[in-house]
Amino acid sequence: MTTRIDLGRLDGAGAEHEAAPGPGPGPGAGAGRESADPRRVRVSRRAAEALGRRLESPMPWQVARRTGPDRTLDGSMRPAPVPPHDPDDTTDPWEELGGLGLVDASGRLFPELPGALDVLARPETAVDLDLVVRRPTTGAAPVAAPGDGAGPGGSTDVQLRAWHRRRAGRVTAVATAGAQVEIGWFDDRSWAAELARVAAVTSALAPTPPARDLTLPHELMLGVGVARRTDAPRLTEELLRRHLPHMRVPEGADAREQVQLLHSGVVGRLRAVVSGQGDDGRRKVGWVSWLLFSDGWRTLRPHVDSGVSQVGVHHVEPSALGREVARLVAGVAS
């Protein structure tokens, strides 16, 4: 079972996302206007859902449960994760929200909240992010790849889900990890930095990574992954025999070894799915796929070369996520 984690801590080395403010901004702050600076508040699942009911803006996991299962990063199917709640916690959600300054004694909400949750419910563009990072643990339970739960060599997977919704220059983001829910809202000029914040993780695990730039046939990349999960070495050999001539690796690198390292060295995965309505009224979808290694992220860029479906595997920094998402946002809106 996948371990879900504190929003502020994403790996065994103690790497942290930027901390959200403790107490909320208070009903008097920013009244009558929307702040250009990102605002974030962390609440329980109960409190987040109470806000959603009050404003008729359901939380993303509630929508996902109604629309069916979600595809995980490793291609398997499972229901979209629902943030857990402590059954022994009897705190009234409105008392919790009041303590954060998000509702006053008369029941009036912090002025920016209705607009933020309206963007969440009625966006022009949606970005769903799924992040899985492998970290060390004391136990050992061999599993193939991040996204499956327990991992090889005494490791386990930690997961963060985030939903970003944009409309008319404003973005509302909801993220879940464990029992915590973070709700944020900001001007879309801050969006690239907020996306980079999601990808700003590392892992304390340090398997040998592949080269920073590779190109290989799509069938080879997927097929070797299947062969490894099903313990089919003959299939691996046949795929290598057929596709190695089409690989491009740095000078001096061994292509066969690079294929193996591309799978054995993975310590995390990130997927961003972008959707929106185009000028022709049709719903359009695009996606970004990244793999995390001990020396950083690689983006996967599919393309066709001389009639062969290929995947470029290239090193990127977390800041590149904003650029890749922006390109897709422009595409789905056209």
Question: What was the pLDDT predicted at 52?
Answer: 96
pTM: 0.81
Burial of 30 (0-12, 13-18, 19+ CB in 10 A): middle
Q: The tokens 């907020």 sit on which residue?
A: 194
Question: What was the pLDDT predicted at 63?
Answer: 82
Q: Residue 105 domain-assigned? A: yes
Sign for the pseudo-dihedral over CA of 315, 320, 323, 325: positive
Q: Residue 115 domain-assigned? A: yes
Question: What was the pLDDT predicted at 154?
Answer: 77
Q: Residue 79 domain-assigned? A: yes
Q: pLDDT by residue (tens digit) across 24-43?
A: 443 333 434 566 689 999 99
Question: What was the pLDDT predicted at 42?
Answer: 95
Q: Is 172 within 8 Å of 117 (Cβ atoms)?
A: yes
- Residue-number span of the structural domain to which 122 is assigned: 3-199
Question: What was the pLDDT predicted at 88?
Answer: 59
* HEC readout, 227-240: HHHCCCHHHHHHHH
Question: What was the pLDDT predicted at 67?
Answer: 42
Question: What was the pLDDT predicted at 256?
Answer: 94
Q: Residue 129 domain-assigned? A: yes
Question: What was the pLDDT predicted at 285?
Answer: 95
Cα–Cα distance for residue pair 77/75, rounded to 1 Å:
7
Strands 213-217 and 170-177: unpaired
Residue 254 tokens, joined: 């061994």
Which residue stretches of the chain have pLDDT < 70?
1-36, 64-89, 138-153
Geometric angle at alpha carbon 224, from 222 and 229, rounded to 5°: 100
Q: Residue 133 domain-assigned? A: yes
Mean pLDDT rounded to a whole number for the chain? 82
The closest alpha carbon to 131, from 173, 79, 177, 77, belongs to 177
Q: Residue 138 domain-assigned? A: yes
Q: pLDDT by residue (tens digit) across 101-119?
A: 999 999 999 999 999 999 9
**Distance from the Cα of residue 30 to its chain's centroid:** 30
Question: What was the pLDDT predicted at 155?
Answer: 84
Q: Residue 316 domain-assigned? A: no
Q: Residue 244 domain-assigned? A: no
- Specify the number of domains making up the chain: 1
Cα–Cα distance for residue pair 120/122, rounded to 1 Å:
6
Q: pLDDT by residue (tens digit) across 217-270?
A: 999 999 999 998 889 989 999 999 999 999 999 999 999 999 999 999 999 999
Cα–Cα distance for residue pair 54/230, rounded to 1 Å:
48
In three-state secondary structure terms, 161 is strand
